[in-house]
Chains A and B, each alone.
Chain A
Amino acid sequence: MIRTLVAGLGTMGRSHALAYHRNPAFDLVGLVNRSMPNLDPELDGYTVEPDFKQALTRLKPDLVNISTYSDSHADYACKAMEAGAHVFVEKPLATTVADARRVVDCAKANGRKVVIGYILRHHPSWTRLISEARALGGPFVFRLNLNQQSSGPTWEVHKTLMQTTSPIVDCGVHYVDVMCQITDAKPVEVRGMGVRLSQEIAPDMYNYGHFQVLFDDGSVGWYEAGWGPMMSDTAFFVKDVVSPKGAVSIRMPESARSDDHDTHTKTSTIRVHRVGQPDEDLSMADEPGHQELCEREQAYMARAILEDIDLTRHMEDAVQSLAIALELKNVTKTFGQTEVIKGVDLTVNDGEFCVFVGPSGCGKSTLLRIIAGLEDATAGDILLDGKRVNDVAPAKRELAMVFQSYALYPHLTVRDNMGLALKQAGQSKATIAAATDKAAGMLSLQPLMDRRPAELSGGQRQRVAIGRAIVRKPKLFLFDEPLSNLDAALRVATRIEIARLHRDLKATMIYVTHDQVEAMTLADRIVVLRAGKVEQVGSPMELYNNPANTFVAGFIGSPQMNFLDAATLGFLPGRIGIRPEHLTISRDSGELSGQISHVEKLGGETLVYARHATHGLLTVRLFGEHDYAVDEEVYLTLQRDRIFQFDADGNRR
């Protein structure tokens, strides 16, 4: 039995703890968390302790699961390995490459196993397809498609999707990723084409398309996608990899319907065909959920320890994926006497979507301009890919920026706007044409290429501005409030477009906004700034579920968190915060009484504003429609486990 200690009981930590509890290979000996979380009833009887170091020295576990906040991963992992334990660590392995390298070196020095929690690598069907295909050896032919004969409501959904995204783009990226994982080769060329088979979609959209990807090892990939009532349901779901030694395919039952969503996630059988041998069918009937995937992850952990699996490549991958794109060290900026940026330290990882958010005047745009080189830092260092770039001109920093006001060159056509940077860099005409055409294809700008900015609508101008950034293939994309000048509907559409671009390009992006909704929906990681200082850095859900202070708690989440006087409610002096959805309202009884001062009915939810004598205006968020009248007396009750406690300075207890 592997004696296991779990540190950090967030969503992932709790699932892992449950996985250890259920797996007989493990013996769950301890749980560490700073506060008391809600545990699954199955875990009743386990005690939670606050101090990691004490638990480690007292329990001497064989395995430590680290599911804490990412900034403590590296330290905890090294401590655990020095104490003789193997380590399972949630992704990311660390917050900097140096830390990640330290963990890997420590693992090698102590002969310990480190497994990093990439949950999707344990999705059985796709991992099986990938591993079976890799076993056959390349070069490969990939035949993948996903056609959907849709009608009625599903066709309506498709039409809505096609307002922004064509079918081949929608899922294409995932399949290209699968191709890349199988070949391990670099894609060198992509050829795509589309046909508009319906009058019900925009003139520049197409509802059928296919593309080919050429890899530098000679492999060729084909992917096809079409949506609409006219699509044929013959061979609509082909997942086929062919190599010199045979083929691997996912087989569908003949009865499957093309517009049924379960069809696409369920991959019932994998058939492996080897030349000269009978076909082998692998049943993939059990599609796991989140908990089950965690359990599979831990089963793999157990095998790694018991069977002494070589994890070198696994660890190197983790370090690689952490490679830092941008690092700010103690950056300061003063304008005259005013210090707008006060010693900011920040690292942005490769491929990460990082959002700077904060109220106006907090210095977020200045910070972005310093990264771009449009403003000089008064003190501190800016490192791009490990190189100090303080004195490098903006154009030489290999970054591209999208501005709030679009900033298109008024005297140039869309094509020339997009190609200017490459022309300045001395690229050949053919290269420029290829790059602009490719970017235009990604953003459906082809019909607009010969127009001037004055002839475009706001949304189109912003797409051109984004296209101009893509063409340069920068290491780093900078967005300066790109959606602020668009109307609400376009803003949502463009937001989706940007998110899709991030998935497609896998580029590092830094995005500045004052809108917390944009920050929450787009970011891998959010940096909350106030008055030139970083208040908190973390994933959207980390900030939402674990705000460091009242400022972050109030800024993230809409409607705003309620703040109440703590002492009067029997807590330590200071303030407590509770989100509007965690207040319950009743006409009969409850903790706090108040008078309704305003009710907002939004259809899907109802917001009730009630005034309490000492705590002021409190917001309650109710789902569905509710009839409360202004001036009505109501009682509010706080969900105790959802309360955040803050001290007198506003810092989280």
Chain B
Amino acid sequence: MSARLSPARTIAAHAVLLTYTLIALFPVFVIVINSFKSRKAIFADPLALPMPGNFDWVGYETVLKQGDFFLYFQNSLIVTVASLFFVLLFGAMAAFALSEYRFKGNTLMGLYLALGIMIPIRLGTVAILEMMVASGLVNTLTALVLVYTAQGLPLAVFILAEFMKSVSDDLKNAGRIDGLSEYRIFFSLVLPLVRPAMATVAVFTMIPIWNDLWFPLILAPAEETKTVTLGAQVFIGQFVTNWNAVLAALSLAIVPVLILYLISSRQLIRGITAGAVK
């Protein structure tokens, strides 16, 4: 923070950032305030804050009475946490191998993995569905975990490999001379040092999984495997949409991911600014 900015530039920069924040938060804000209003009030004045006159719990009542909704939440959490775990574990291990060991095809392997970032996995939906049908995994959470793990790995490997290259070779070599196994070196020396990068990857991986509608709809649309996002769709009908319920469901869906985000945000900020400060 050595460069001193003139007040005018500081104000301008803050104005831009604040505008962006407002734009980004506006839809969330509208969803949350309207979820507490009656159906009439939503349509009468979508931007009004919930007041004693228009306040209504009906959306939340509908969502909570619909007994399956807890199951949807549970499904979403299982899928997200399991995918996140595998993405971080396998991503970090692959990144360690790519950054630490010299072997034939090392660079090629790195490029191949990075290519996954550029090709959207949804292009392969038909093939994935055929595979899942063939292996009998349709309508299971396993199918979703597998797909999301594959989807998250390229970016995880790419980011973590860069960070792992910055871990001191001397430290790893000291571990080898002291008789630590490669696994101990990876888990107890390297992983703690790339924790900020892991948090960054975690956040970038977690949010698309939680919000995804596509794969749950195609691979696991059965009642017992529905995720929150898919579950909220039951309130959207072809002719009538229960907006109170949809908005309430979406508001509720924000909460878990917000908590996960807050937990890793401290690490995330450290990850983004690593090297920038000091």
* Residues on A facing B (Cβ under 8 Å): 369, 372-374, 393-396, 399-401, 403-411, 420-421, 424-425, 468, 472, 480
Contacts and interface: CB of A to CB of B under 8 A. Distances in A.
A404 B179 contact: no
Most chain A CB atoms below 10 A, which of B171, B173, B176, B193: B173
B168 A425 contact: no
B178 A420 contact: yes
B192 A410 contact: yes
B177 A400 contact: yes
Given A409-B189, A410-B192, A411-B188, A403 B179 contact: no
B179 A421 contact: yes
Interface residues of B, number: 15
Given A407-B168, A411-B188, A411-B192, A425 B179 contact: yes
A401 B193 contact: no
A374 B178 contact: no
B193 A407 contact: no
Contacts of B189: 409
B135 to A, nearest CB: 41
A369 to B, nearest CB: 8
A423 to B, nearest CB: 9
A403 B192 contact: no
Contact of A372 (B171, B177, B193): B177
Contacts of B177: 372, 374, 394-395, 399-401, 421
11 contacts: A374-B177, A393-B176, A394-B173, A394-B177, A395-B176, A395-B177, A395-B178, A403-B173, A405-B171, A407-B168, A424-B179
B170 A407 contact: yes
Given A420-B178, A424-B178, A404 B170 contact: yes
A472 B176 CA distance: 14
A241 to B, nearest CB: 42
Given A410-B192, A411-B188, A405 B170 contact: yes
A421 B189 CA distance: 14
B192 A401 contact: no
A472 B177 CA distance: 10
Given A369-B173, A374-B173, A408-B174, 17 more contacts: A373-B176, A374-B176, A394-B173, A395-B179, A401-B177, A403-B173, A403-B174, A407-B171, A407-B174, A408-B171, A409-B174, A410-B192, A420-B178, A421-B177, A421-B179, A424-B179, A468-B174
Nearest to B171: A407
B218 interface: no
Nearest to B192: A411
A408 B168 CA distance: 10
Contacts, number: 58
Contacts of A399: 177
Given A407-B168, A410-B193, A411-B188, A401 B179 contact: no
Nearest to A336: B102
Interface string B169-199: 0110111111110000000110011000000
Contacts of B176: 373-374, 393-395
Contacts of A401: 173-174, 177
Given A407-B168, A424-B179, A372 B173 contact: yes
A412 to B, nearest CB: 9
A509 to B, nearest CB: 15
Contact of B168 (A369, A405, A424): A405
Contacts of A406: 170
Contacts of B192: 410-411
Interface string B31-72: 000000000000000000000000000000000000000000
A404 B188 CA distance: 21
Q: Which of A396, A403, A407, A420 has the most CB of B within 10 A?
A: A407
Contacts of B178: 395, 420-421, 424, 468, 472
Contacts of B168: 405, 407
Nearest to A374: B173
Nearest to A401: B177
Given A410-B193, A421-B179, A403 B170 contact: yes
Contacts of B175: 409
Contacts of B180: 395, 420, 424
B169 to A, nearest CB: 9
Interface in B116-171: 168, 170-171
Contact of B173 (A396, A407, A425): A407
Contacts of B179: 395-396, 421, 424-425
Contacts of B171: 405, 407-409
Contacts of A410: 192-193
Q: Which 3 A-B pairs have the closest CB atoms?
A: A395-B179, A407-B170, A424-B179
B104 to A, nearest CB: 12
A409 B178 CA distance: 11
Contacts of A472: 178
B170 to A, nearest CB: 4
B194 to A, nearest CB: 12
A502 to B, nearest CB: 19
Nearest to B180: A424
A425 B180 CA distance: 9
Contacts of A425: 179
A348 to B, nearest CB: 18
A117 B235 CA distance: 100
Nearest to B189: A409
Contacts of A394: 173, 176-177
A404 B178 CA distance: 17
A407 B170 CA distance: 5
A596 to B, nearest CB: 44
Contacts of A424: 178-180
B36 to A, nearest CB: 47
Nearest to B168: A405
B163 to A, nearest CB: 15
A480 B173 CA distance: 12
Q: Which of A369, A420, A425 has the most CB of B within 10 A?
A: A420
A411 B188 CA distance: 9
A530 to B, nearest CB: 24
Contacts of A400: 177
A60 B110 CA distance: 74
Q: Please indicate which of the listed interface residues A393, A409, A468 has the most CB atoms of chain B within 10 Å of its own CB.
A: A409
Nearest to A405: B170
A409 B193 CA distance: 10
B278 to A, nearest CB: 13
Contacts of B174: 401, 403, 407-409, 468
Contacts of A403: 170, 173-174
Nearest to B181: A424
Contacts of A468: 174, 178
B108 to A, nearest CB: 15
A373 B175 CA distance: 13
A600 to B, nearest CB: 36
A364 B180 CA distance: 25
Contacts of B188: 411
Contacts of A373: 176
Nearest to B174: A407
A404 B174 CA distance: 11
Nearest to B184: A424
Nearest to B178: A421
A399 B178 CA distance: 9
A469 to B, nearest CB: 9
A92 B180 CA distance: 39
Contacts of A411: 188, 192
Contacts of A404: 170
Most chain B CB neighbours (cut-off 10 Å) among A399, A421, A472: A421
Contacts of A393: 176
B74 to A, nearest CB: 35
A615 to B, nearest CB: 44
A204 B192 CA distance: 33
Query: Of residues B170, B171, B178, B180, which shows the largest number of chain A Cβ atoms within 10 Å of its Cβ?
Result: B178
Contacts of A372: 173, 177
B96 to A, nearest CB: 16
